[in-house]
Amino acid sequence: MPFRIGLTRDFLTDDGRVGWGDIGLAALDEAGDVTWDFIDTAEGDITPDAVRGYDALIVLTPRVTADTLKGADRLVLVARFGVGYDNVDVEACTRHGVLVTITPGGVRGPVSVAALTLLLAAAHRLGQKDRLVRTGRWNDKLAYMGTGVTGRTLGLIGWGNIGREVSRLCAPLGMRQLAADPYADPAKAAADGVTLTDLDTLLAEADFAVVTCALTPQTHHLLDAERLARMKPAAYLINVARGPIVDQVALTEALVAGRLAGAALDVFEVEPPDPADPLLALDNVLLSPHAIAWTDQLALGNGSAAIRSALDVAAGRVPAHPVNPEALDHPRLLARKVSR
């Protein structure tokens, strides 16, 4: 029986094209004893009926829940297209013998460049200057001086896969670099010219605070009103991680009150945000629809890595970057001879 792979339908545009461009699907066509297609789910929870008969799923935004797995008579892999897996019930997957993988190599470069893009755009007040031209206010430009980054302090909230790459990209800019991450290697940080510190110190000293940590129960509202109040009035907050890491109401209040110079956000507590959300009306905020890093390079990198995970499991190999390696001990995976 062929190994059957399903991709969530949100990879497709309304007219049936792969909206991401090349995501490496040729590798599936070239693989032996493998079939693939798109499941019926493009948003919301993936239903049990949608996954029945599939051995692996490649998932973009729909949710894999405990109920989803009730239909998973053959499922052994959920390969996330990206590094966040808050749309996957990992504990339920582990109980059912379903391995969950992510694609850190595919996102490292594009998301880090996106973080730098937002940082520089905020520092130069690009959004406001763009509106000056579009609204005929050319001569108001003296009221919108930017902030130079050389010699300023960069604070990285999370110094993992993406945080380290942001450090590398920013090194030529001559910024002092701080990072708050309890799991970071002090020796590696020192070698890269990064000072590890606690979060409160980082927020008090950073001119640009960049959120790159994962969303977990411990990091939900990590930046609440109290922590945001520690930031300098001239500082900027950039978030390319997950929206709920920041208390969005508290952030809005700080921006309205002038306790922060500005923010650049690719992610929100609720996505998409309510059009009436007062954050969207602020002049000192740059916004992107959780897509600032969406490039051809990210598409191919993520897609190829997720597909490689599926083909590895199909061949009885342990894939790279499992989130729940303990699932490898489950009888379902052992029966497929996928074991460590």
Cβ(103)–Cβ(305) below 8 Å: yes
DSSP 73: S
Check if 259 is active-site. no
Q: What one-character-per-residue DSSP string does 106-145 give?
A: HHHHHHHHHHHHHHHHHHTTHHHHHHHHHTT-GGGGGG--
For residue 148, the tally of other CB atoms under 10 A from its CB is 12
Cβ(66)–Cβ(90) below 8 Å: no
Check if 30 is active-site. no
Alpha helices in the chain (DSSP H): 26-30, 48-51, 90-95, 104-123, 126-134, 161-170, 186-191, 199-205, 225-228, 248-256, 296-314, 331-335
Residue of 242, 321, 330, 336 with catalytic role: 242
Task: Report the candidate in 253, 311, 307 with the shortest Cα–Cα distance to residue 282.
Answer: 253
Give CA–CA dist 207/220, Å, rounded: 23
CA distances from 128 to 52, 161, 266 (A): 50, 32, 17
- Map tokens 């693939």 to a residue: 36
Residue of 43, 271, 317, 326 with catalytic role: 271
Check if 124 is active-site. no
Q: What one-character-per-residue DSSP string does 319-338 give?
A: PSSBS-GGGGGSHHHHHTT-
Give CA–CA dist 142/181, Å, rounded: 39
Residue of 52, 124, 290, 332 with catalytic role: 290
Q: Give the residue numbers annotated as catalytic, written as ranges.
A: 242, 271, 290
